[in-house]
Amino acid sequence: MIQQFASTNAVLIEIVRTVAIAYGIAFAAAFVGRMVLHRLIHLNRVAPRNRVASDQRMRTLQGLMGSLVTFVAFTVATLVTLSILIDTQTILWIFTLFSAAFGLGAQTIVRDLAHGFSFIFRNTFDVDEKVEFELIGVEGIIEEVNLRNTMVRAPSGELYTVPNGEIRVIRNFTRSTFSNASITIVIKTADLRAALAVLEPLGQEAADLFPNLLEPWEVMITSSSQTGRRTELTLIAKAVFSKAAALRPKLLTLVQERLQTANIDLID
């Protein structure tokens, strides 16, 4: 009986040792994998200019790939542990049943992981970019991306944790080629012809005067009053990205000065 107990005890010790080694290797693999990914960011800086990825893109990939390495390492460790306790055929049956049950009962988790994995290959947004996830109404700066979630810092300071499976329509402000600097004015309809004669050539002058204005504006009649006494004009202006807020007051001031010179009054 003592020999049987000793034999059983030795088997248990061997199992515990193997499990400890498997998960120890998993911890080490996850740690080393993240360290290697961190080093890749620095190696990226010495690559040829036409092949250098942005720091934001590298940080995004670091978060995604780090999560993937951790997930794979611990999945393998778990399978190794099960292979010690259960024969291979039984493991296959368990894995099949578990996959079916997991797919039905944890569809949201599977969907989040699948979308997170796809972000590795889809360069739709990166860390530090300003985005809006339109279908769920979340807007802010991307702070972190992993396989399961995306962290977004709202303009008001809150941190949103958005499941990757919920991200469908993405509005990326950072990757815009220009910002909208359009302005709207209201004049008397009787002054419309004279106003157009002033505003249309003024667009080219404004483009020469303000470097942040990408091209001459376009003048559009956007609405008029029911009585026909007032007309609303919109000057469609494109500014260098992120410069619209500073440019818009300058454009409005220029328009007001020129219209006043032509004795055309703006209506509030």
- Give φ, ψ of 154 to 5 degrees: -75, 160
Q: What pLDDT is recorded for position 185?
A: 92
216 pLDDT exceeds 90? yes
3-state secondary structure of 144: strand
- Give φ, ψ of 180 to 5 degrees: -80, 115
Which of 30-34, 48-52, 88-92, 158-162 is most confident?
158-162
100 pLDDT exceeds 50? yes
- Which domains are seen in the chain, by residue range? 2-105 (no CATH), 130-172 (2.30.30.60), 178-261 (3.30.70.100)
Q: What pLDDT is recorded for position 267?
A: 86
Report the pLDDT averaged over residues 216-245: 84
39 pLDDT exceeds 80? no
Q: What pLDDT is recorded for position 225?
A: 61
Poorest-confidence range of 127-136, 152-161, 250-259?
A: 127-136
Residue-wise pLDDT for 12-28, tens only, equals: 777 777 778 878 888 88
Poorest-confidence range of 27-36, 131-140, 242-251?
A: 27-36
Answering whether pTM is above 0.75, one says no
Report the pLDDT averaged over residues 239-247: 86
Report the pLDDT averaged over residues 116-138: 84
In 3D space, the residue among 179, 163, 74 whose CA is nearest the CA of residue 116 turns out to be: 163
173 pLDDT exceeds 50? yes
Q: What pLDDT is recorded for position 46?
A: 45
Report the pLDDT averaged over residues 241-262: 91
Q: What pLDDT is recorded for position 54?
A: 61
Residues 63 and 144: beta-carbon distance below 8 Å: yes
Q: State the DSSP string of 219-265.
A: EEEEEE-TTSSEEEEEEE-EEETT-HHHHHHHHHHHHHHHHHHTT--
48 against 180, higher pLDDT: 180
188 pLDDT exceeds 80? yes
7 against 95, higher pLDDT: 95
Average pLDDT of the chain to the nearest whole number: 80
Confidence tier at 183 by pLDDT (50, 70, 90): very high
17 against 194, higher pLDDT: 194
Query: Which residue, chain included where needed, has tokens 């990825």?
Result: 53
Q: What pLDDT is recorded for position 8?
A: 61
Assigned token pair, 41? 């960011």
Residues 173 and 131: beta-carbon distance below 8 Å: yes
Residues 91 and 79: beta-carbon distance below 8 Å: yes
51 pLDDT exceeds 50? no
CB under 8 Å to 147, separation ≥6 — which residues? Answer: 64, 67, 68, 71, 112, 113, 116, 117, 164
CA distances from 203 to 197, 209, 222, 247 (A): 11, 10, 18, 14
> Over the Cα atoms of the chain, what is R_g?
31
Q: What pLDDT is recorded for position 49?
A: 47
